[in-house]
Amino acid sequence: MRAGQLYMLSGVHGGVSLSKQMGQGELKIRSYDVQIHRARVEDLERRCEVGPTKRVVLFTDTMGDPICRIRNSPVYKMLIAELGSEVVGVIQGSIKLATVHKPPKNLAKLGYVLGLRIAPLHRRKGIGLRLVLELEKWFIANDVDYSYMATEKDNEASVNLFIKKLGYAKFMTPAILVNPVDRRALRLSSKTEVAKLKIEEAEFLYRKLMTSTDFFPDDIGNILRNRLSLGTWVAYQRGESWDGFGSDGKFPSSWAMLSVWNSGEIFKLRLGKAPLSCLILTKISRLIDKIFPCFKLSAIPDFFSPFGFYFMYGLHLEGPSSGKLVGDLCQFVHNMATKTRDCKVIVTEVGGKEMLRLHIPHWKSLSCPEDLWCIKAMKNEENTILQLPKTPPTTTSLFVDPREV
């Protein structure tokens, strides 16, 4: 699920950049052309909807725009692999400047790899490898320091490709937390004050407090000003004042902050597979809610039709009571979501060992406790900054760019 002015690189609609002889003809890797490839890429996405059989799987619906997940990134590209007239593989990439934890430099140019799809009948033929290598060439040509990607921990094919064949190294295992939206608003604590920050205030606080956080984007101002960013809110205990929102260096004894991104405006989610018990529970819940509305039971949302979602990002907390305030903010965002017609879940991603995750409501069956992030240096010269993949992060905090969800 990725502000400001967008820059399409020259060559995005270019021709053949790589070819290889295949049994069914010549494999061609070329840049995505919306006029030529759109329908065929959508068809490929449908054919690739094959997920793990033992748990719930959420699939994306791009609503006719295959590059919607990267369109809000500063620089982006999509490659497709063709065999004759058939699209048999796709991959997407974006580039940004972000914080890394390796002195003497504080910033690095990062290339993000996402959306790798190979048609089921054409897997294990090296197509995925060729697509990644070609995208890495684009990264190198644009002076990228690191390439990184995220995958499910149990995705054996992806782990083998990136770690064993391409030399990526495990960097961290954050948790993806997903919580359904009940159509009824939740009651907020009378002891908590929630205030919306101006964009300038939010940017000031993020730069002041989170520039040492892993992968903090240097263009945070563009993210906050994007139309998909609904705003930034802080929560603190009622009775305490917060004049200037930290600009004077003074904060409440406990407080929490987060921003919200309306990912449902660019693509939808849909439940792919679910246990029979989940289907039965959904139907029973809706039936009881319809027949006995006075019970005010929480009906389980319909996840089987495409639906939108909110993504919470930039979560930060300070003080002994801040965990409770994070929970209050999550309830506040939930109540916002009830007013958006098709928003049915709220998603966030936090560092795997962060205590923060304990205060964020979520469904275990929809969440992912360990999302595997891998990273690879794109430059060979000796430089301390290039040792990042060999060094564990100096902090458990993580800033997840909403443009890359």
Phi, psi of 83 (to 5 degrees): -120, 105
pLDDT value for 286: 47
* Half-sphere CA count of 209, side-chain side, radius 13 A: 24
Residue 215: closest CA among 111, 305, 122? 111
Please name each of the domains of the chain with its CATH number.
Answer: 27-173+370-377 (3.40.630.30), 178-267+297-366 (3.40.630.30)
Whole-structure pTM value? 0.85
Residues 195-235 pLDDT 10s: 999 999 999 999 999 988 889 999 999 999 999 999 999 99
Q: What angle do CA 383, 384, 385 make, to 5 degrees?
A: 90
What's the CA gap between 254 and 400, in Å, rounded?
23
Name 130's Cβ contacts closer than 8 Å, sequence gap at least 6: 18, 20, 27, 29, 81
pLDDT tens, position by position, for the chain (405 residues)? 332 222 222 233 333 333 444 555 789 999 999 999 999 999 998 888 754 445 556 778 888 899 999 999 999 999 999 998 899 999 999 999 999 866 656 889 999 999 999 999 999 999 999 999 999 999 999 999 999 999 988 889 999 999 999 999 998 899 999 999 988 889 999 999 999 999 999 999 999 999 888 899 999 999 999 999 999 999 999 988 877 666 667 889 999 999 999 999 999 988 765 554 455 445 544 444 454 444 444 555 667 788 999 999 999 999 999 999 999 999 999 999 999 989 999 999 998 767 788 899 998 878 888 899 999 999 875 444 445 554 444 444 678 999 999
Residues 117-151 pLDDT 10s: 999 999 999 999 999 999 999 999 999 999 999 99
Residue 210: closest CA among 224, 228, 190? 224
CB-based contact 226:4 (threshold 8 Å): yes
- Taking the CA atoms of residue 399, residue 95, residue 208 and residue 221 in that order, the dihedral angle to the nearest 10 degrees is -110
* Half-sphere CA count of 334, side-chain side, radius 13 A: 20
pLDDT value for 51: 47
In terms of C-beta distances under 8 Å and separation of at least 24 residues, what long-range contacts does 243-246 make, across chains too? 245/197, 245/201, 245/204, 245/205, 246/204, 246/205, 246/208, 246/209
Strands (E), 38-85: 57-61, 75-83
Strands (E), 84-206: 86-102, 105-118, 146-152, 169-172, 175-180, 192-197
- State both tokens at 63: 């609503």
